[in-house]
């Protein structure tokens, strides 16, 4: 297995959690490389659904070590509560390690997050980002401003007091910060309980590489929300790309075996920002309902749209995908036809096929050009049972056409197809997942 990177290929919510959990069955380590409690991964187990916010999904499997990597920002209190909930449900099955280099989200960051959104709204309502207000952006800002507090300092009381004093001094513009002494007392208390999990993680992963153990790097959010390469400023505060996964784990690029992109058969977005293929009206409501399109962390209703190959081609090149996992094909089951955006036309008449405008306002003004693919049947119990017994060969022929079409258009083979939320509702297409510059590789040939 080597080192495998999992990257969201759209605007997030592509069912990365499900695919990562599926792949974790063969992993020794699962490392989350960025983000914090603003991202939720929903995993559907026999014991019921579980939503993971900060703990990597490897925790659900015995014998797997989950690592909160150095690229993360973690809310200590929320993290402790998540650990406790998993333990009470009997789902804390693996081992958990927290990088000493990961940064802490503090009560000051939550206050600052709300203040920033209110400032944007008061200044220009169209500039509101729609953040989760969980302190992610301010925590990353303090990280790069060198004001932040890392978990290695969080568990050292004297150092924590010193760093907290400096942090407070850097924020004279915030008038409603919580009492510093109380914050120090609360953080010291929770840090004592989290201390056994805090360790240097890079040497552990380097040793695992030397032993040829399998490592899965788990992404949060998606490449189109990358702070540099996404729809700026409507992005997250870190780098949820394959390159960002390396920075957020401490592993070198030479050790990466594969980069897997996760894409829905359609598209969704939550929060503000351009969404060229958005579908409104009855069809939009249908996709939201059939897909259960609400955020795992926030519960916010997601915007829905058709698959966008312009953005998918762009993200595939940006991340160097070796293969794709196509999820939620069951949601489109029963439609007569499935539109796919194959290019954009700009207001000036320019045609774009694999590189979107960098400016969010320009992206919002493009007109998608669609290719309409034949639909496939609903995933009734009979079809699901056939797939369970026969594998990929039992997928409907028109769905196979859709799969091959996406593979050809992106020049990335589709290796997995997910047709439901449960662990067993994923089928492997039998490919090795190697990259190819050819027009596409059919899973059904030979």
Closest CA to 326 of 16, 52, 2, 21: 16
Task: For residue 82, give the nearest of 148, 134, 125, 22 by alpha carbon.
Answer: 134
Closest CA to 33 of 171, 185, 207, 221: 221
Check if the beta carbon of residue 43 is closer than 8 Å to that of residue 50.
yes
Q: How far apart are alpha carbons 346 and 60 in whole angstroms?
A: 46
- How far apart CA 446 and CA 442 sit, in angstroms, is 9
Secondary structure of residue 260 in the 3-state scheme: strand
Task: Give catalytic residues, as residue numbers.
Answer: 13, 41
Which runs of E-coded beta strand occur in 64-164? 65-68, 73-74, 95-99, 103-104
The whole-angstrom separation of Cα 238 and Cα 1 is 26
Which secondary-structure segment (H or E) carries 360?
A: helix 360-364
Cis bond leading into 233, ω under 30°?
A: yes
In angstroms, the Cα distances linking 332 to 245, 308, 379 are: 31, 15, 9
Q: How far, in Å, CA of 257 to CA of 27, rounded?
A: 13
- Are 293 and 287 a contacting pair, CB within 8 Å? yes
Q: Is 326 helix (H, G, I), strand (E, B) or coil?
A: strand
From CA 309, how far away is CA 373, in angstroms rounded? 13
Beta carbons of 338 and 373 less than 8 angstroms apart = yes
Distance between CA 381 and CA 442 in Å, rounded? 26
CA distance 439 to 442: 10
Q: How far apart are CA 374 and CA 60, in angstroms?
A: 38
Please name the residues in contact with 417: beta carbons below 8 A apart, sequence gap of 6 or more. 325, 326, 327, 329, 392, 395, 399, 403, 426, 427, 429
In the DSSP assignment, the letter for residue 78 is H
Instruction: Show the tokens assigned to 42.
Output: 């929903």
Q: How far apart are CA 216 and CA 24, in angstroms?
A: 7
């Amino acid at each position: 297995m080597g080192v495998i990177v999992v990257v969201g290929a759209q605007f997030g919510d592509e069912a990365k959690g499900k695919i990562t959990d599926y792949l974790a069955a063969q992993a020794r380590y699962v490392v989350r490389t960025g983000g914090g409690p603003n991202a939720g991964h929903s995993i559907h187990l026999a014991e019921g659904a579980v939503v993971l916010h900060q703990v990597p999904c490897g925790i659900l499997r015995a014998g797997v070590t989950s690592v909160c990597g150095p690229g993360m920002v973690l809310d200590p209190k929320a993290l402790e509560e998540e650990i406790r909930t998993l333990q009470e449900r009997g789902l804390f099955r693996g081992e958990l390690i927290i990088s000493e280099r990961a940064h802490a989200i503090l009560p000051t960051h939550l206050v600052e997050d709300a203040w920033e959104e209110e400032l944007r709204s008061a200044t220009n309502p169209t500039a509101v980002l729609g953040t989760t207000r969980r302190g992610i952006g301010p925590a990353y800002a303090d990280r790069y401003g060198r004001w932040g507090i890392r978990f290695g300092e969080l568990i050292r009381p004297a150092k924590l007091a010193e760093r907290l004093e400096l942090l407070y001094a850097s924020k004279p513009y915030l008038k409603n910060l919580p009492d510093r002494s109380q914050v120090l007392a609360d953080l010291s208390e929770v840090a004592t309980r989290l201390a056994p999990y805090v360790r240097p993680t890079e040497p552990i992963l380097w040793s695992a590489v030397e032993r040829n153990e399998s490592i899965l790097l788990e992404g949060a959010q998606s490449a189109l929300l990358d702070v540099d390469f996404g729809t700026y400023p409507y992005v997250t505060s870190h780098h949820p790309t394959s390159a960002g996964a390396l920075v957020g784990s401490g592993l070198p690029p030479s050790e990466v075996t594969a980069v897997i992109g996760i894409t829905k058969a359609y598209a969704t977005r939550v929060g503000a920002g351009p969404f060229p293929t958005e579908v409104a009206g009855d069809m939009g409501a249908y996709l939201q309902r059939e897909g259960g399109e609400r955020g795992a962390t926030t519960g916010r209703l997601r915007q829905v749209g058709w698959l966008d190959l312009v953005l998918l081609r762009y993200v595939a090149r940006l991340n160097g995908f070796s293969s794709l996992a196509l999820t939620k094909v069951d949601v489109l089951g029963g439609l007569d036809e499935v539109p796919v955006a194959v290019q954009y036309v700009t207001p000036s008449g320019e045609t774009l096929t694999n590189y979107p405008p960098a400016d969010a306002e320009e992206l919002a003004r493009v007109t998608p050009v669609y290719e309409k693919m034949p639909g496939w049947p609903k995933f009734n119990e009979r079809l699901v049972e056939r797939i369970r017994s026969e594998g990929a060969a039992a997928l409907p022929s028109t769905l196979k056409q859709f799969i091959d079409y996406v593979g050809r258009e992106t020049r990335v083979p589709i290796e997995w197809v997910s047709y439901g939320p449960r662990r067993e509702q994923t089928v492997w297409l039998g490919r090795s997942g190697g990259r190819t510059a050819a027009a596409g590789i059919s899973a059904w040939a030979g």
